Amino acid sequence: DAGVIQSPRHEVTEMGQEVTLRCKPISGHDYLFWYRQTMMRGLELLIYFNNNVPIDDSGMPEDRFSAKMPNASFSTLKIQPSEPRDSAVYFCASSTTGTGWTSGNTIYFGEGSWLTVV
């Protein structure tokens, strides 16, 4: 089975430009997560969806960030306008039952989108 697929894998953009990161979750997974990883802050949850509905976006750093999930097989994370401090690895992940205590399951990460804003 294909894993979580993210694109682009690498992006270098100039400050002020719009960045759109894309994610295709594993088929049949009804939870989708967006994480950001930096050296300073480690892995942080930005937002997650259940059945295409945003459930918790409290981790989204500010209004410049937005995420959508128009259908079960596609999600986007958009940064507009981008700033150098947004440089990070952005991971998308998916799971079948979330990560709550009843699951004992896990989430599966994509390979990440490496974003550099100059």
Which residues in this chain contact other proteins in the complex, by CB under 8 A? 31, 33, 42-45, 48, 50, 55-56, 59, 91, 98-104, 106-107, 109-112
Structure tokens at 42: 């480690």
CA distance 31 to 25: 9
Q: Tell me whether residue 82 or residue 95 sits nearer to other proteins (CB atom).
A: 95
Q: Tell me whether residue 58 or residue 71 sits nearer to other proteins (CB atom).
A: 58
Q: How many residues does the chain have?
A: 118
Strands 31-38, 88-95: pairing is antiparallel
Q: Tell me whether residue 12 or residue 43 sits nearer to other proteins (CB atom).
A: 43
Q: Give bridge partners of residue 68 from the DSSP assignment.
A: 76
Q: 65 with 78: CB under 8 angstroms?
A: yes
Q: How far is the CB of 81 from other proteins (least distance, A)?
A: 27
Q: How far is the CB of 18 from other proteins (least distance, A)?
A: 25
Q: Tell me whether residue 74 or residue 108 sits nearer to other proteins (CB atom).
A: 108
Q: How far is the CB of 104 from other proteins (least distance, A)?
A: 6
Question: Pick from 116, 115, 96: which is nearest to 105 by CA?
Answer: 96
